[in-house]
Amino acid sequence: MSNAPAEATKAEEAPAEEIDLEPANHIIDKYLTLPGNLMPVLQGIQDEYGYVPRPTIDLVAERLNVYPSQIFGVLTFYAQFHLKPRGRFIIRVCVGTACHVQGAPRIVETFFDKLGIGHAETTPDLRYTFEKVACLGACGMAPLAMVNDSTYGQMTVQKVDQIIADYNQRPMKK
């Protein structure tokens, strides 16, 4: 949450993006009559595009009849929403209590060193996004890392190298 405001200002400086609004319209149609529909709509857009592009915010504002400022308020409050494109591989390292006690900070620092990016940042080639997460709820296997949907338990500094070597080989296309 602490990084969100910075992200927001950067997003406003960015030039207007050209994106296909068709999927966003579909998502809005789906939730149009639901009370409290702002969050599900934004979550749907986030899942669809991988982030919440600026043009979709204006679209949602217009169609749901809410102020863009209110939408920005929601987007920057919750950790789950992103205003910038994210990497093909999202590396999450758990820094929950159990993982912290078992040495997660070192795993985080090793990733920082190897990837050259910090928390909630994306590599310029859009291959990796790195995030620290509060707790992934698999404390039995601490310290824990995840890449997209794959979980890696009992992490060590050596395993970080293996993971990055592995994902460097993988194609950028889904």
Q: Which stretch binds other proteins (CB under 8 A): 13-21, 30-38, 54-62, 164-172?
A: 30-38
Q: Which of 61, 135, 147, 164 binds other proteins (CB under 8 A)?
A: 135
CA atoms within 13 A on the CB side of 170: 15
Closest distance of CB 169 from other proteins, Å? 21
Looking up tokens 């929601």 gives: 74
Rg (CA), the chain: 18
Q: Determine if 171 is a binding residue for other proteins (CB under 8 A).
A: no
> What is each CA distance from 59 to 7, 74, 155, in whole angstroms?
20, 15, 43
Q: What does the angle CA 60 – CA 62 – CA 65 come to, to the nearest 5 degrees?
A: 95
> Closest CB to other proteins among 150 and 172?
150
Closest approach of other proteins to the CB of residue 29, in Å: 17
- Measured CA to CA in angstroms, residue 125 lies from 79, 128, 168 at distances of 23, 8, 12
- Under the binding rule (CB under 8 A), the answer on residue 35 touching other proteins is yes
Q: Which of 19, 97, 148, 166 contacts other proteins by CB under 8 A?
A: 97
Task: Report the Cα–Cα distance between both ends of the chain, in Å, rounded.
Answer: 28
Stretch that binds other proteins, among 18-26, 32-40, 53-61, 164-172 (CB under 8 A): 32-40
The identity of residue 82, as a single letter, is: H
Stretch of 11-19, 33-41, 53-61, 165-173 contacting other proteins, by CB under 8 A? 33-41
User: Binding residues for other proteins, how many (CB under 8 A)?
Assistant: 44
Query: Closest separation between CB of residue 14 and other proteins, Å?
Result: 22
